Structure formats: C-alpha cells, structure tokens
Structure 1
Amino acid sequence: MRIGLIGSSLVAMSLMLSTCGSAEQNAAQPANVTVPDQPQWSEANAGQLRAAIAHRATHGLDRMKFGSAADPGAPLDDAKLTELALTYAGALARGATDPSKLFAIYSLPRPQPDLRKGLADALKAGNVGVWIESLAPQDDNYRKLSAAYLALIKQGGGGAAAISPTDTLLKPGMSDPRVPAIAAQLVAFGYLDAGTHGRRYTAAMARAVQQMQADYGIRPDGVIGGDTLQILNLSGADRARAIAVNMERMRWLQRDPPATRIDVNIAAARLTYWRDGEIADTRKVVVGKPDTATPQLGSPIVSLVANPTWTIPRSIERKEIAGKGASYLRRHNMVWKNGRIVQQSGPDNSLGLVKFDMQNPHAIYLHDTPAKQLFDAIERQRSHGCVRVDDALGFAEMLAGDEGVLDQWQEASGTDKESFVKLPHAIPVRLLYQTVLFDAQGEPVTRSDPYGWNDRVAKALGFDVGGGRRVMNSYTDIAP
C-alpha cells in the first residue's frame, strides 16, 4: 500500500488553542452524554466492550487510555462499565476531542446520536461491540485511513535516518553521498520504483522529486533544497500522527451531510460542489493566511450578489488603509459612507464581480477577485479569511442554473450596479480542514498543514507534536 505524503492539503482570526486538559482527561469526559439508569452488564457484553477498547488503534486512538477502567484486570461494576462504554462510544460517534474547545471558531454540524438509547438496546441484544464499532464513520475513506494507520504503527512508526541538509542545492546529474538515502525515501513514499541507486542524482529520481514537490506545494523543478529535504525527512510517526488527526476530524463531522452542498478544504485550498450526492464541480480557491486563518464553519449561501460593493472591515481600515489619503481612496474607487470606507462596484473591486452571500456572524463568505494570478500559486493561503473562488462568475452561473434563477442572475450581472439574486434554496457550505487526502488510486496521501492546526488535535489525542510543513508567504492585499 502506498502511504505517501503531499504538501499543500480530500476531501480569522488568530485561532488560539484552548485549555482542554490531558488526553486521558478528555477521554474521561464525553460531551453531551447522560448516564442512564444503570443496566445490567453480562460478562459477554463487558468482554465485547474491553475488546473494542483494546482495538482502539483501528481508530487512531491508541494514545488515549480511556481511564484505568479499560484495564482488563480492573474490577468494574455496572456503573463503571456504563460510564466507560459511553465515553468510548462518544469518542467514535462525535470525536474523542471537542473542536469547539480546540479552536476559537468551529461551527460545522456534528453528529448527535442518542448514546443512552443505543447502549441500552445493545446491552439487551448482546451486541455491544457491534454497536460501538457502528458509531465511527463507515465510508471507504475512513477505512483506508484506518488501514494506513495500522500499517504505520506496525512498522513501529519509524522512518529513514535523517538526510542532512547542506547549503548546496542538489540538481539532476550531480553526485552526492545523500542520494541513496533520498532514493530510499522516494521508494518508501511510492514515488520511485525500488532498485539499486548509487550516488548520482538521476533523471528518474528527478522526475520522482518533481512529482513529490508538486504534491507538497513546492515548485516542481526537481532541485532538492531545504523544503524538499524537510518532506523526505518526515518519519512514519509523522505520517501516522497526521492520519490519526484526520480520522478524528472525520468523526467530528455529521455522517449524512446534505446531498447538495459546497465543501471547501482550507488546507488544500480546493472547493468541491456536490449536487444530489454527486460531485458536480471542483476548483481552486484562495483562503486565509495563517495569521488571518479561514475558520472551520458551516454556513449557507443564501444569495448571489452581482457587482458587489465592499464595506472595508475596521481591522483592515486601521492596519492597511489608515493614513493613505484621498488619492489612495480615489485610485481604489473607495468613498466614505456613514463613517465607513466603501469600495464601489466595478471589475477592480476586491470582491470582483460576484459575492456568494453567506449567513454567519464572522463575515466569512465566498467571492470573486481581480487578483486572478493567485490561483496559479500552489499554496493559496493568502487572503484575510474569506474564500476567493477561481472563475467565480462561471461558478455563480452554474449555481444560478442549478437553482432555477439563471435568468435573474444574467439580468443582474449584466448591469453595473450591485444587485441581489436570492436563491430559492440555501446551499450549505462547509469550510473544512483536511490534510490527508486520496490520490487517483484511492491511497491516502498527507499534505502540508498550512495553519499548524494538526498539532493541537494531535496533542489532545496523546501524540507528540511537530513534523509538518507550514505555509510561509508575505503576500498581502486589502481584499477580505
């Protein structure tokens, strides 16, 4: 099985990590779980519970102890067994951690199963183990992550010896004593066929490096420098940790998302439009810079806005426009209205020619942009938090057609004035953060962690942290 690693990640804000206690504390305090009247536990049901917890590595939860009650030698009464069952069931059903405590903003819909009733029914039927396992995501992607995680920890989570960096760039045709170690890592990641590799950096190796660089969001020039060596030096433990974190993120999500929706993967800066349960479109987006991160939230698109105006947020006004003077405002088609700076409609408006109006208290939405060149970048974490959509006009027309308001949209967009076209059905949008995706063969590949958000989840799951690449860019503009 190929267990590869990509850099720049499927399918606002400086978000600070809240105090959430140790992994064991988190496991011992399931959210929204009410202990029912104590049922009777048979030895068979108790054995199934212990067996399920003993195999928690299947879900990347082997670093969490779930209290000493999981110890096969510990005497348990019915009350303790019930508490333990609800705790572990909650971890699989909704996540072992609470994302609203890990992130300042997290409003994605989460599962809300009735664990009390589920446990009571399972005890009566004598199938506690089957019930517990049914609570985790049941889709193929989750199973593939589980298999990859188990394979990595079976290997001991180790990796190849570190490949020492130097100030000299390694270019195709050069000889270097590190080449055999580099080749070994490329083979391990699945980019290079196994074979005998000497000290010469061959054309075949360079092609493999180019593919890896493209996956990781590095310019695919085949030249091995510091960034490329950083990826090659990632260990099996790094990959296992990333997979466990992304399994946890999948457990946070509702099991039956709306069949028609828009998913934006912030880490990968990609949008996927689902229509009636099928992928109808996918395209690039630009999302927030690490210091103005796009938050993980769920929020519907309620209308399309043609030729939008933009009222400059106070934060951008203070940090980036204050003191610029009247000539700056004229150049950017900005005026003062009711004590606020407003950029008027036009092709140079920072929102472009269409805004996808969304309902949320954080002023986060999708929109067009005049800065089309940003979509050519591989790492596209460059905005102030909103999501800029590639060919936004084409996407707006697609949505308008699918929602039966194409005529109204074409009429509105044909003018030069701000106009609103209400959608007959709000389209749910999920802003997700997923750093493990799947390649064309369906194998898991780990992209970069541009915001460093994996660490806070990994720590709560009991892992050591670190090992991922970070987005580092100095691009700035006044757009949202």
Structure 2
Amino acid sequence: MVLLLAGCSVEVAPDNQTSANTSEPAGPARWSDATTEQLRDAINARGAHGLDQMAFDASASDEAGLTKQALTYAAALARGATDPTKLYEVYTVPRPDPDLRAGLAGALRSGDVRGWLNSLAPADDNYQRLSKAYVALRTDPATRHANIPVTGDAIKPGATDPRIPTIARELVILDYLDEAAAQGQQYTPAMVKAVQGIQADYGMKPDGVIGEEALAILNMSDVDRARAVAVAMERLRWLERTPPATRIDVNLAAARLTYWRDGKIADSRKVVVGEPDTETPQLGSPIFRLVANPTWTVPRSIQEKDLASKGAGYLKANNMKWENGWIVQQPGPKNSLGLVKFDMQNDHAIYLHDTPAKALFAMIQRQRSHGCVRVEDALGFAEMLARDGGVVDEWHQARGTGKETFVKLPKQIPVRMLYQTVLFDDAGGPIVRNDPYGWDDRVGAALGFKAGRALRVESGATDVGP
C-alpha cells in the first residue's frame, strides 16, 4: 500500500528545505504499510502523553484519512490537544507553531513517522517525569497512594488515628506542614494548626477537626492525580519549546516566581497573585522598565468596590488625592505598589510590584490580590534586575529622588504567567498541589476526563491594592 500525502508537493523536502542542493529531485511524500503502522502504533500509545481519554481515530487506510489523522495527532503533541485561547478569556503566553505538513512530508520520505511524532512533544525532564507518573498511575497498582478512609468519625485534636500519617503526608505536599512534624499517628498541635490553615483557606470553620470537608481536600484519589498530571502535560505542550534563556516565569497556582538567567535559575521567591474571581491572567508580557517610588492610579473597579464608602479622612491618611477624576495614591511607604513597580507591556494593566502588606507572603494560599503580582522583597529583586541590566547606578539615583522615576531596561525581560498544579519534589518526583482557581477543570474536561474535585480557595483580598 503506497498513498500520496494529500496537499504535499513533490518539491517539498524535509525540514521545509528545498532540494536545490541535491543531485536528485525530492521524491513524493507517500504512505507505506510501515509508516501507516507507525502512525497507528503512536496513536494507540497516546497514554504516554495523557491523551488516552481522547478519541484519536487510527483506522483510516486511504490517502486523505491517514494524512488527516497524522496531522490531527501531530498537532496535539506539538501545540496541545486543546486551545487555551478558547478555554480562557485571556491567554497570551507564546505558543509553538511548527509546520506540521512539511514535517509529515519529510517523515514519510524518510520512512520515520514514529520518530517525527516523538519529536513533537516537549523533550524536557519535567515532561518525561510527568509521562512516567501518568502511566504508573493509570496502570501500576504498586504505585498507588493510599486513600484516606472516610469512616464518618471526625479526628479531633490530640487523638490517635491510623489515618494520621497519610493526612500528614498530604499536608506536607500542600505546604501546610513541615516534614519534620509529620511523624507518628497522633494528631499533634502542629498538625492542628496546619488543618486550621487549610480550613480557613477553603472557607470552612477553622476548628482543627478533621471531618468530611477537610478530608475532601486531603483525600486525593489516583484518578484525581492522573487527571492533574495529564493537565500538566497539556499545559507544557502549549508552551514554545525553546523559551527565552533569560526570562521570568510566575506560577499562579503556586504563587511563586522564578527568574531564569542564561538558561539557569538565578532566583526564586514568593509572590501574591490575584484572588479567585480577580484571577491573574495567563499572559506573555515583558518588563521594559523599573519604576522607583511609583504612584498608583486606582482602577475604577477598585474605586467603586472598595473606596466608594471611604471619606476624605481615609484618602488623606493613605496619601491619596483626586486628580483629573481619578484617585491617585502618592509615592511613599503606604503606597499600594510599595517602593517599586515593574512595568510590563500588555493590554490588561497587569504588572509586578512591591507591597506594604508583607504579612501576605507568610500565607500558604497567596491568591490575595486584585490581579497584579506582588513580589516578596521586591526592592531586592529590582536591584538584581538593574544590576543584570547594567543600570544599577540609574536605579539608585531614581530611588533617591523620592519621586516617581522611570528607569528603562536596556533589554526587555520576557515574563510568562503560567498555571501549573503539579510540582516536583527534591527527588524529582511529581506532587499534585491544589488548584486555587479551579482552572484544571476546563482543561481536564477538554481532554476527556470526568469532572474533578471542584474545590476552590476562598481567600478574599485583604486590602485595596492591585
């Protein structure tokens, strides 16, 4: 069986190059029995990519059908099986856009459709770890986590219960408990405090009693874990394969920032991001300048929701003035942007900044802002960026003015606002964290998974800052 690839000219050579430098003209891109079998094998093995809940047809035997199936599956590996711009109101993170038709033509001519398909998904270590974890969760009973039995008996402070070790492990994974405190079968004061914290973050009565509601958060099944891992792989497929070597990645789910310099992690620190209902969007947007001693023009939404009932005394106490119909907070230690703002280029008025509300960084769930990203030790981070950009002297002079002053960076720093609920422990193993925005649900559903746990953080913004 030999079939011609529909739409592929015989002049198209592998890797989208012409055949001008070869002595023989490039041959036509044709399907053979071998390449057809490779396509079917690849689609049947799609569980390695967490795509086994989606129906990819592998039954075609005609020219057009095989080509369509190959390009559909290739697109799922290369760009993702779902479209984040349709799943979310805002998604501007740079995405891959390979020439799949030319790639398939080259693969058919070389007789290696399998190798070409294998080259399309992310090749980094994290993706490979996720793939192995997903396959294990779906097929290997020996790797399964012990679920916490729901017996109907609540666990009260001081009690001894055989479920405690498993509960403690989940509390450690979710960052509510230090690993050193996760010992034995007694429900210790340290664990009680951790449970109270998780209850408060999820809108429960923080009484420290482990009942059905608390267990619903802690008791993640292997089905839940497999779904989260598959979603994590899909989100990695959305991303360009070679991101800028120097960049800033913000994980909105974990509320953490990572600064990459020349391909290596130079810094990592906590951030405060948008609370549920004012979520920080998934953006790709560069920092182009530092702002020392920034002013803050209060957005209409915050002005109407949080300041409408405030009088002149409140505005004066917080160094706010009316200017041209807007409330503008003047520079200073009380300014909601703190002492530095990291200006970014986007249409959504989202940026990184300092904050006077330092206590928020000590919280586990740091989804507490109105949408912008507050950076822990923002002055230290600004100093780092200024030094790396060769403008540290200008930055020091700007800070010393006490007035709003702009320092342009010689080279813009790309920023990606991402959302990943699966992180990796010190041994490189994937651990499933909570989903504060509930954003895994729509991706999981689009990948063919049944609805997951719809448990959302209920943080509540604690100030009027952006």
Per the alignment, in what secondary structure is the counterpart of residue 225 of structure 1?
Answer: coil
Shifted more, 358-367 versus 335-344: the winner is 335-344
Q: Of residues 52, 77, 89 in structure 2, which corresponds to 1:92?
A: 77
Per the alignment, in what secondary structure is the counterpart of residue 393 of structure 2?
Answer: helix
Deviation, structure 1 residue 469: 4.0
- Alignment map for 1:332-411 (pairs within 5 Å): 332-411=318-397
Cross-structure match for 2:23 = none
Q: Indicate whether 1:42 and 2:24 are aligned.
A: no
Q: Of residues 162, 177, 180 in structure 2, which corresponds to 1:180?
A: 162
The Cα offsets for residues 56-87 of structure 1, whole Å up to 9 and x where unpaired, read as 00000000012xx31xxx34201110110000
Deviation, structure 1 residue 214: 6.9
Residues 282 and 219 (structure 1), Cα distance of their counterparts in 2 relative to 1, 3 Å cut: farther
| 1:207–1:222 CA contact under 8 A, matched in 2 | no
Cross-structure match for 1:278 = 264
Deviation, structure 1 residue 318: 1.3
Cross-structure match for 1:121 = 106
Cross-structure match for 2:86 = 101
Deviation, structure 1 residue 155: 4.0
Question: 1-side partners of 2:196 and 2:81: how far apart?
Answer: 29
Per the alignment, in what secondary structure is the counterpart of residue 411 of structure 2?
Answer: strand
Q: Of residues 27, 51, 55 in structure 2, which corresponds to 1:61?
A: 51
Deviation, structure 1 residue 188: 10
Cross-structure match for 2:297 = 311
The residue type paired with residue 239 of structure 2 is L
The Cα offsets for residues 363-385 of structure 1, whole Å up to 9 and x where unpaired, read as 00000000000001011000000
Q: Of residues 410, 426, 431 in structure 2, which corresponds to 1:445?
A: 431
The residue type paired with residue 124 of structure 1 is R
Deviation, structure 1 residue 449: 0.2
Question: 2-side partners of 1:137 and 1:372: how far apart?
Answer: 37
Cross-structure match for 2:184 = 204
Cross-structure match for 1:194 = none
| 2:156–2:187 CA contact under 8 A, matched in 1 | no
Q: Indicate whether 1:248 and 2:248 are aligned.
A: no
Residues 162 and 42 (structure 1), Cα distance of their counterparts in 2 relative to 1, 3 Å cut: same
The residue type paired with residue 85 of structure 2 is S
Residues 435 and 367 (structure 1), Cα distance of their counterparts in 2 relative to 1, 3 Å cut: same
Q: Which runs of 5+ in 2 are unaligned?
A: 1-5, 10-27, 174-181, 201-205
Deviation, structure 1 residue 115: 0.5
| 1:165–1:229 CA contact under 8 A, matched in 2 | no
Question: 1-side partners of 2:207 and 2:95: how far apart?
Answer: 42
Residues 224 and 138 (structure 1), Cα distance of their counterparts in 2 relative to 1, 3 Å cut: farther
Aligned length: 429
TM-score, normalised with respect to structure 1: 0.83
Q: Of residues 134, 137, 162 in structure 2, which corresponds to 1:152?
A: 137
Question: 1-side partners of 2:257 and 2:193: how far apart?
Answer: 22
Deviation, structure 1 residue 224: 5.9
The residue type paired with residue 112 of structure 1 is D
Q: Indicate whether 1:142 and 2:122 are aligned.
A: no
Residues 362 and 418 (structure 1), Cα distance of their counterparts in 2 relative to 1, 3 Å cut: same
Residues 232 and 417 (structure 1), Cα distance of their counterparts in 2 relative to 1, 3 Å cut: closer
Question: 2-side partners of 1:97 and 1:215: how far apart?
Answer: 36
Residues 154 and 216 (structure 1), Cα distance of their counterparts in 2 relative to 1, 3 Å cut: farther
Per the alignment, in what secondary structure is the counterpart of residue 451 of structure 1?
Answer: coil
The Cα offsets for residues 272-317 of structure 1, whole Å up to 9 and x where unpaired, read as 0011111111100000000100000110000000000011111111
Deviation, structure 1 residue 190: 10
Deviation, structure 1 residue 325: 2.3
Cross-structure match for 2:417 = 431
Q: Indicate whether 1:474 and 2:460 are aligned.
A: yes
Residues 161 and 302 (structure 1), Cα distance of their counterparts in 2 relative to 1, 3 Å cut: closer
Residues 219 and 464 (structure 1), Cα distance of their counterparts in 2 relative to 1, 3 Å cut: closer
Residues 406 and 122 (structure 1), Cα distance of their counterparts in 2 relative to 1, 3 Å cut: same
Q: Indicate whether 1:51 and 2:41 are aligned.
A: yes
Residues 458 and 55 (structure 1), Cα distance of their counterparts in 2 relative to 1, 3 Å cut: same
The residue type paired with residue 59 of structure 1 is H
Question: 2-side partners of 1:408 and 1:190: how far apart?
Answer: 44
Q: Indicate whether 1:266 and 2:252 are aligned.
A: yes
Q: Which runs of 5+ in 1 are unaligned?
A: 1-33, 192-201
Question: 2-side partners of 1:377 and 1:136: how far apart?
Answer: 36
TM-score, normalised with respect to structure 2: 0.85
Deviation, structure 1 residue 169: 3.9
Q: Of residues 266, 283, 288 in structure 1, which corresponds to 2:274?
A: 288
Residues 441 and 373 (structure 1), Cα distance of their counterparts in 2 relative to 1, 3 Å cut: same
| 1:408–1:421 CA contact under 8 A, matched in 2 | yes
RMSD: 3.0
